[in-house]
Structure 1
């Protein structure tokens, strides 16, 4: 079994530009083989996320952002509930690393070593820190010709300040490149198929969250942002996914109410 010391040595070798193969090179070779045999976009994304958590141990939370045909952001693959909440907040605020790096006109890579001291995202950074995240790296997915522009981003979060070092960032750039090329080579990479294959659940979640927000707004006379905050806080307090909580409220609104 590969030890943490082996990974660190291989990362240092990688950054130094040496060619000696090591466990990291072996994992990339295995990932390439798995992506070449991936039958769908879903499989590509899931396999890259598995490789991300293996190759970057400090990547405690990871997700993919994709942009659909109408320019909306969605999270079709992630490693857990917190990843969805981190991404949804960025889509709502229209700020944050995955939104910034995924935008076709954006910088392609967004890095923040410590979100408690991050002025670029005044709304999202404090909310992410409240969720226990301190460092983030997001890098664009650019499949190349014929598309040649970003279709989304790979997002990796760490709970430790400065938790993602330079070597981790280099590995993540390679992982995003692998994902981009695999997406370009997968038959399901057209915009319409991406929406049909990946975004159905996200769209359903968005609709039910909208219904739940409308119920809270009507009951309490609050704004849409305030209603979303009630949902988000209650989701965290109850340790229930935001979409599940919204669905329960929408289906049983005559029976239940959320805490104040």
Structure 2
């Protein structure tokens, strides 16, 4: 098992052009092989997210943003429901790193090493900080011909201020390139099918999270926002996905309760 210090050392060597291959080069080679055998766009996105959380150790959460034919944003793949919440806030406010990077006319890369002190996103920044985000990095997905235009973004969120740096940016650019090429080459499912599949999962996830929030609200006499914050903090403390935690609470609410804040 490669330690975080070894990953950091190899990351610096990797982006500086050091000739000796290390863990990152090996992981990129393995990812390439896995993407070549991915049968659907959904599989491509899931495999890149797995690689992202491995190759960017400070990435506590990761997600993909895609742009629909009508210009609307949606999140077809994520590592945790909190990442979806962070993305949805950006779509609602029409500001934030993934919206900025995904826009065809945007800068292609948006990074905020210390979100609390960054004034670029006056609505989304404080909302993201309230959800426990300290740093964020998004890179555009550009499949190439025939349009050469962005179709979305790969997003990573770190709970630590200063947790993402320029070396992480370079690694994420390579991951986004892998994802872009694989998306362009994979036609086993259409974008509309991918969105429909994610919408079904999102509705199921939202439903069970709503049930869990209702249980917490009734037990503790708190607001919906406070109940969600209890779920979010507990999922972080237990290192369990928020939707999985909510499902457990909803199914076993007579047996268990979440820790007090």
Q: Give TM-score scaled by structure 2 length.
A: 0.77
Residues 1:65 and 2:62 are matched in the alignment: no
**Which string of whole-angstrom CA distances, capped at 9 and with x for unpartnered residues, describes residues 43-93 of structure 1?**
000000000011111001100001111111111100101101100100010
The 2-side partners of 1:137 and 1:33 are apart by: 26
Distance 1:17 1:196, change over 3 A: same
Partner of 1:176: 176
Contact 2:134 2:159 in 1 (8 A): yes
Contact 1:65 1:154 in 2 (8 A): yes
Partner of 2:129: 129
By how many angstroms is 1:237 displaced? 4.4
The 1-side partners of 2:83 and 2:26 are apart by: 28
Residues 1:11 and 2:11 are matched in the alignment: yes
The 1-side partners of 2:3 and 2:120 are apart by: 37
By how many angstroms is 1:12 displaced? 1.8
Contact 1:67 1:74 in 2 (8 A): yes
By how many angstroms is 1:200 displaced? 4.6
Contact 1:74 1:202 in 2 (8 A): no
Residues 1:202 and 2:199 are matched in the alignment: yes
The 2-side partners of 1:110 and 1:160 are apart by: 17
Contact 2:77 2:198 in 1 (8 A): no
By how many angstroms is 1:8 displaced? 2.2
Residues 1:76 and 2:57 are matched in the alignment: no
By how many angstroms is 1:205 displaced? 5.3
Q: Give TM-score scaled by structure 1 length.
A: 0.78
Residues 1:111 and 2:111 are matched in the alignment: yes
**Which string of whole-angstrom CA distances, capped at 9 and with x for unpartnered residues, describes residues 81-133 of structure 1?**
11011001000100000001001111110011111111110000000000000
By how many angstroms is 1:7 displaced? 1.5
Aligned residues: 220
Which ranges of structure 1 fall in alignment gaps of 5 or more residues? 210-229, 249-260
Contact 1:102 1:151 in 2 (8 A): yes
Q: What stretches of structure 1 move > 4 A for 4+ residues in a row?
A: 203-206, 230-234, 237-241
By how many angstroms is 1:201 displaced? 3.6
Distance 1:81 1:22, change over 3 A: same
By how many angstroms is 1:165 displaced? 1.7
Which ranges of structure 2 fall in alignment gaps of 5 or more residues? 207-222, 233-241, 251-261
By how many angstroms is 1:15 displaced? 2.4
Partner of 1:219: none
**Which string of whole-angstrom CA distances, capped at 9 and with x for unpartnered residues, describes residues 4-28 of structure 1?**
3322221121122122111110000
Q: Which moved more, 1:69-78 or 1:230-239?
A: 230-239
The 2-side partners of 1:236 and 1:201 are apart by: 24
Partner of 1:235: 228
Alignment partner of 1:187: what SS? coil
By how many angstroms is 1:2 displaced? 2.1
What's the RMSD between the two structures over aligned residues? Answer: 2.4
The 2-side partners of 1:127 and 1:161 are apart by: 15
